[in-house]
Every structure is written in structure tokens, then in C-alpha cells.
Structure 1
Amino acid sequence: MFPENLFPPLPPAVRKDMADLGPALDAVLPLKARHRADLPGNIRLLSSLLTEDRDDLGRDYMGDPRTLSAYLRYFLPWNLYRLGRLFTGLSLDLSEGATLVDYGSGPLTVPLALWLSRPELRSRRLNVVCVDRTPKPMRSGLDLLRKLAGGEPPWKITLVKGALGMHLRERADLLVLANTLNELAWTRRPDLDEDAARLAATLQKGLAPGGRALLVEPGTREAGRALSALRGACLELGLHPQAPCPHLRRCPMPGREPAPWCHFNFDTTGAPEWLVRLTAKADLTKRNLSLSFLLLTQGFEPEPNRVRGVSEAFDLPLGFRGQYACSAQGLTLLRFPTGERGLPPGRGITATFPDQPERDRKSGAVILPLPGVRS
């Protein structure tokens, strides 16, 4: 199935549960007044380390109590909101007895996001295997999940101290790596092909028949480049992208300068007020969020003539606006009249291209005229 809209607004019930996350954090991880006063500064420091000074970030940085507190109070909730929007759009479903394996689980970010955003999964007996180098964040995340569930959830949750690629007895119906690739040194090297091929083989080996692999990363050029290389390696093994890609051809957004890379921006509508206030206290802004991702499954065949909007709209000459998109034609430039808008980033449509389409002189993209949608 081709997801039509990757980032729909959170349903009202999910927004309420996200709002309740703040009190749940206070109950499970209470802060003394002094530590609460230090929290905005610790959040700013960790934000700088995660984005600008990553070389100064320790390998197991979440073992530090101050860092862990900042992560759990700020970065975890924003990651849950970000993943919640994606999980809502992907309509991730797991049948009774299915196995989820979450590598680089941290404070159980992926299981928590599924619990919050997919209420229909809460009553199913799932096997959830969480793997991380540092056990303490996983234990904190498990305490938080129990609080949200009002006791022991029906999920069988196993915490494993380890790293990506370790041998597990379980094979996954859904194997997830969220914010994990950016921690791997090879993703910053000039040549990614060999390491991407090794990771593709690891993913394939870890999947049960019919299983899916989901990788979610920050929407940076570096992450887009790594995911594009991994996509190519997975295609060679028969692991096909189900989303966001609308085709199985070569990736037209491989992340090399100066071309665009595959990532999606979306607004923060419905984010909890307590989290918005904390963000302001830390002198940070979150007007929109960004991510890159791949959902892979064995032998998936996309529907023909699909187009996925990727970038936000921008001005073009001669009274037009444009937006980069992806299609089997390669890099695609949607063109529509000024005063109208294109597709929300992540929206997919079926389109018919002209027999002899124009090409954009700047990017080389195939131009697809689009009537647009009134703002």
C-alpha cells in the first residue's frame, strides 16, 4: 500500500495522550527544584552537542544523569511527537503475537511512540525487543511506558544490552532503527557503499518472512545521503522501499551537494503546551520538524505513476511556484500558479506526465504542471 499522506495531524485522542506525557514524566522521574531550574540550560547544552559539537559527545552520553534528564524531558517528547506524526501516516500495523525489534532504543522511544500514536495496538500481545548499549535509559523508558499503560502493558518487553548487528534469537516483523544511523561513524565517510551493503544484509537477516524495516533519521543532508546509499544496497537484496519512495529506480535525491536530498518538513500543530513552554524556556524554537526515513519490505511493488511531494514550495520566474518531488521520472519539479500551493511535503498523488516534458534548467528535474490547491 502506498501511503497517501505521510504526516497527517495527530488525532485528538493522541494529542490528549501526548499532553498527559508531561505529568507522567513528573511522576516517574521527579525533579528537585534545583535540578528543574537547571533543566533549560542542560537542554541547550545537549542540543549544541547533538547538532554542532557532536565530536564532543560521549559514546554513552545518556549515562550522565544531567544529560539523561535533559533528553527525557525535551528530546524524547519531541521525538515522540515527530515519530507519532509519521506512525500515523504510515498506519503501521502489527498483528497479535508480532515481534518488534528496536535497535538503539534509548528510552524506548519507538515503543512509546507506537503506544501513543497507535491506540489499536495497546491491547495486542506483542513481543517488543529493545536493544541499546546503555541500560539505564531503557529502564527509564519502561517505567514511563508502564505509567502511561496504568500498569504492565500486554506487550512482552525484553531489554537487551547490546548494539546494532548483535545476534538475536528473535526475527522481526518490524525492525526499527530510529536516530541510530547518525551515531555510526561510517555515515560521515565519503564512500558509503561497502558499509551500506553490510547494513542492508544485517537488516535482511533480522527480518521474519514478510517483515518490514523502518529507519528514521533527522532531516539532514548527511542522513539523507546515508539512507539513499542504504536504499540502493537494499534494492540489490530484494528489500524494496514501501515509503517514501514512489518507485524502485535509482534515487534522484542522493544527498550530494548541491542537489536536494530526501527529507520532509512538517509543522508542530498539536504539540503539547507544556513542551512548547519548556522549549521557550530553553531559548530554542520548534516551528517545524524535519526527518528522513525509509520503510522497506521484501519484494514490494509500487503502483505506477505515483509522485511524492518532498520539499516545501518556492518561487519560480514568470508567476509560478515550484516544489521538488520524486517519481519514476527521477527528480521532479511540480509547477503551479502563484497564489496556489503544491502538495504538503509527504503527500502522494497519481499523475500523468506530458509526452515530452520540459526540464528545469537549474536542477535538470522533469517539470510536472500541477493545478495546485488553494491556500
Structure 2
Amino acid sequence: MSIDGLFPNLTEENAGQLARFEDILKLVWPLKGKHRDQLKYDIRDMSRSLTNERSTRRKEYMTDAKFLSPYLYYFLPWNLFRLSRLFSGLEMDIPENGHVADLGSGPLTTVLALWMARPHLRDRRLDFTCLDIAPKTMNTGVKLFQALAGKDSPWRIKTVKAGFLDHIREKADLIMAANAFNELDWSGRTTRPQAEKLAAHLVGATKETGRILIVETGVRLSGRIISEMRAQLLEKGYKPIAPCTHALDCPMPALGQGAPWCHFNFSTKGAPEWLNAISGEASLTKDNASLNFLYLSPGGAPERGMVRAISEPFKLHGGKGQYACSDRGLTLIDYPAGTRPLFPGQAFAPEWPANRKIDLKSKAFILPYKSRGGK
């Protein structure tokens, strides 16, 4: 059975880049003794503000200096780990002299991760326009990038104080927005108009042959954002490259509390020891990381009728089950006892049963998994 997948394990070289990032942080943003001792509490406080206290958090929180240290030492490296796993599994071939626009750039998270994860791009002359409302955070990111890549890197970075919908002068070969759109108000009737405006802006800022990449945090809200953005971008002529295996309606749109939503969990194996240590100090250890994303272009990827595993496996009448996405809608992969389930993000060519069966609980199409080659 032919199987391909997203989120491959980190290469040794990529893991090494993440491991040495601690030294880069200490060089660019050193912490004195008392500030280093306080770091675990600052990380905890910021984590609460990004989750439990989300409704009371100022939108401009990244302009606040007290948030920068915990962000740089905890949230940034975990985002670099997530994005490294994602970028290494996507086809991301930016042409020589290509232009990349990065919305909500923060400390240049996506630029740093792209350099770490895609070494074949490091010698190309690329122009990056990074936009954020927090210039100090972006300037810190520029320093981090220079320490990582060297000041002679052919990547040319321009930072612009701007919001998500502000004009981008040069159309992009790739436009990215990572952990950005969740900052906006997606409540009630704002959802569709918000997505319409953002989709129109992204398409207008991208070359005819360009690509759009949206990455979010892997929570239910971001699943709704991704689904709505997908619908709007499809209307504007864009088609999915990944993770979707088709350009039909999303079967996991996060509509309602119990409804399925598209996101991926993967192991934190390969994360640097220093980051695991800081996470432990803050009582925020991670066994797995999660995200959801959408990667599109005008042509999209060829539709081959693949089924992509989405959820983690779970017990199902003596064997295992796993929710998946296919051009038939929400799909429940039914694994016989003793069969090793797929990892979230893996896709395969299915053999659909002649008689269609529907799972009573989820209304998903049931797809018996026929293993080959010891899978």
C-alpha cells in the first residue's frame, strides 16, 4: 500500500539547529540572574494569557516588553519545532529572487523555521517582507536570524509595522501567516466577513503562480478559522495543496462543540533538551505538539482520491479507529486488531467497500483498512 505523510521526523541537521538556538537566544536576548530565575513564572503567566485569560488579553500584547522574554525562550522555540516538522513535509520551492510576505511575523518565527527546515533555500536570493504591529519584536527576530544564518545570508529581510490587511507593495511568490489570524475576533457573525476580507487580501497580495500558507495553533477555534478561510479561498480560485486531499466541502469544519475539526498532533521527539528543561521548570512539559494549517495555490495538488488520517487512533470494537478526510467526506478508518494505525497526517490510496456503511455516532463513512507489507 502506497503511503505518504506530513510531519516527518526532524533531520539530524534540523534538530541541531534547534539545539543551538539556545546559544543564539543567550547572545541576542541575554537574561540576567533574577530575570532567568523569574522566567518560569513569566512563561506560566503568558501561557494563561494566551489560553484561559484570552478574552482579557490586549491584542497588542507582543508590543509589551514583559512578554518578550517568555515568548522568545518558550513559545518561539516550540513554534520553530512545530513549523520545522510542517515545513520539512511540504513542497516549498521558492524561486531565485522570489518574494515571501509574512503576516503577523512576530520575532520572524516562520523565516527562522524556513531557514532551519529547508536548507536547499539558504543560498537563494530571497526577499522577505515581514509585517507586524510590534517593531521591537521584529527587530529582535532580525538579530536572531542574523545570528542563525550569518550576516552574509542572501536572504534580504524588510520589516514593516503593519496589520494583517495593510497593503503589501510587491506581490508574493509565497504569503504566510502563522499563529496570526487567531488574534482577530471570530465570534458570531464576524466569522464569514472576516474570512472574506482576509482571503481577498491574501489573493490580491499573491502572484498568479503564488502560494498561500496559513498555520494555526491546533485548537478548536483555529480549526473553525482554517475551515472558513478554506471556503473563501476556494471561491476565489485557489485549491488545496495540503492537508486536504480534495477541493470539496471540508468534512471537519468545527461547527459546534462536538463537531470534528481538522488538526494534527505529533510527538515532540527530537525537541532540544534545553527547551524540554525550560518547559519542565514552568510545569508545561509537552509530549506532543499540535497545529492546523492550509496550503494552497491556484492549481492545487493533483486529486488522487487519497484518504488522509487526521485524528489520533482510538479503541474501536476490538481494534482501532481513526478519523480521516477524503473526497467522500468524513471517514472512519477501521483497523483490524493487531494492525498498526497510521500517524496523523499520513495518506493512502483506499479500497472502498462495495456496500457503503455509515458510523452511527459520527456519520462518517466506514473504511476498513487493508494492510499490506506489515503496516
TM-score bracket relative to the smaller structure: over 0.9
Deviations 1:195-247 (A, max 9, x none): 22221111110101210000000111111111111111111111111110001
- Measured in 1, the distance between the counterparts of 2:142 and 2:37 equals 26
Report 1:150-165 matches (<5 A).
150-165=150-165
CA offset at residue 354 of structure 1? 1.6
- Measured in 2, the distance between the counterparts of 1:303 and 1:352 equals 16
Partner of 1:242: 241
**Per the alignment, in what secondary structure is the counterpart of residue 208 of structure 1?**
strand
**Per the alignment, in what secondary structure is the counterpart of residue 30 of structure 2?**
coil
For the 8 Å contact 2:213–2:296, the answer to whether it is kept is yes
- Measured in 2, the distance between the counterparts of 1:301 and 1:115 equals 24
**Per the alignment, in what secondary structure is the counterpart of residue 79 of structure 1?**
helix
Report 1:329-348 matches (<5 A).
329-348=328-347
Partner of 2:208: 209
**Per the alignment, in what secondary structure is the counterpart of residue 102 of structure 2?**
strand
In structure 2, what residue type is equivalent to 1:132?
D
Partner of 2:365: 366
**Per the alignment, in what secondary structure is the counterpart of residue 341 of structure 1?**
coil
Deviations 1:161-189 (A, max 9, x none): 0011111211111100101111011x233
- Measured in 2, the distance between the counterparts of 1:188 and 1:223 equals 12
CA offset at residue 117 of structure 1? 0.8
When residues 190 and 310 of structure 1 are mapped into structure 2, their CA distance, relative to the original with a 3 A threshold, is farther
Partner of 2:92: 92
- Measured in 2, the distance between the counterparts of 1:191 and 1:134 equals 25
- Measured in 2, the distance between the counterparts of 1:205 and 1:219 equals 27
For the 8 Å contact 1:343–1:372, the answer to whether it is kept is no
CA offset at residue 191 of structure 1? 5.6
For the 8 Å contact 2:320–2:334, the answer to whether it is kept is yes
- Measured in 1, the distance between the counterparts of 2:352 and 2:92 equals 31
Partner of 2:4: 4
Partner of 1:197: 196
Partner of 2:134: 134
**Per the alignment, in what secondary structure is the counterpart of residue 89 of structure 2?**
helix
**Per the alignment, in what secondary structure is the counterpart of residue 192 of structure 1?**
helix
How high is the TM-score relative to the length of structure 2?
Answer: 0.96
- Measured in 2, the distance between the counterparts of 1:115 and 1:212 equals 18
Partner of 1:178: 178
RMSD of the alignment, in Å?
Answer: 1.4
- Measured in 1, the distance between the counterparts of 2:301 and 2:24 equals 42
- Measured in 1, the distance between the counterparts of 2:357 and 2:190 equals 33
Deviations 1:112-153 (A, max 9, x none): 000111111111100000000010010001001100113242
Higher alpha-carbon deviation: 91-100 or 267-276? 91-100
CA offset at residue 290 of structure 1? 0.6
Higher alpha-carbon deviation: 271-280 or 254-263? 254-263
CA offset at residue 315 of structure 1? 0.8
Report 1:314-353 matches (<5 A).
314-317=314-317, 319-353=318-352
CA offset at residue 316 of structure 1? 1.1
**Per the alignment, in what secondary structure is the counterpart of residue 223 of structure 1?**
helix
CA offset at residue 304 of structure 1? 2.6
When residues 324 and 157 of structure 1 are mapped into structure 2, their CA distance, relative to the original with a 3 A threshold, is same
- Measured in 2, the distance between the counterparts of 1:218 and 1:46 equals 15
For the 8 Å contact 2:63–2:133, the answer to whether it is kept is no
For the 8 Å contact 1:313–1:341, the answer to whether it is kept is no
Aligned sequence identity (%): 47
Matched, 1:260 2:249: no
CA offset at residue 107 of structure 1? 0.2
In structure 1, what residue type is equivalent to 2:125?
R
How high is the TM-score relative to the length of structure 1?
Answer: 0.96
In structure 1, what residue type is equivalent to 2:23?
P
Gaps of 5+ in 2: none
CA offset at residue 55 of structure 1? 2.1
Deviations 1:99-119 (A, max 9, x none): 100000000001000011111
In structure 2, what residue type is equivalent to 1:235?
L
CA offset at residue 301 of structure 1? 4.9
Matched, 1:297 2:297: yes
**Per the alignment, in what secondary structure is the counterpart of residue 340 of structure 1?**
coil
CA offset at residue 91 of structure 1? 3.1
CA offset at residue 343 of structure 1? 1.3
Deviations 1:253-280 (A, max 9, x none): 0102312100000000110000000000
**Per the alignment, in what secondary structure is the counterpart of residue 147 of structure 1?**
helix
Deviations 1:2-49 (A, max 9, x none): x93110001001111110100111011111101000000000000010
Q: State the aligned residue count.
A: 371
- Measured in 1, the distance between the counterparts of 2:28 and 2:152 equals 14
For the 8 Å contact 2:309–2:345, the answer to whether it is kept is yes
- Measured in 2, the distance between the counterparts of 1:199 and 1:327 equals 26
For the 8 Å contact 1:97–1:126, the answer to whether it is kept is yes
For the 8 Å contact 1:309–1:345, the answer to whether it is kept is yes
Matched, 1:55 2:55: yes
- Measured in 2, the distance between the counterparts of 1:308 and 1:24 equals 37
- Measured in 2, the distance between the counterparts of 1:9 and 1:197 equals 35
Higher alpha-carbon deviation: 34-43 or 48-57? 48-57
In structure 2, what residue type is equivalent to 1:229?
E
For the 8 Å contact 1:305–1:352, the answer to whether it is kept is no
Partner of 1:18: 18
CA offset at residue 190 of structure 1? 5.0
**Per the alignment, in what secondary structure is the counterpart of residue 84 of structure 1?**
helix
CA offset at residue 352 of structure 1? 2.4
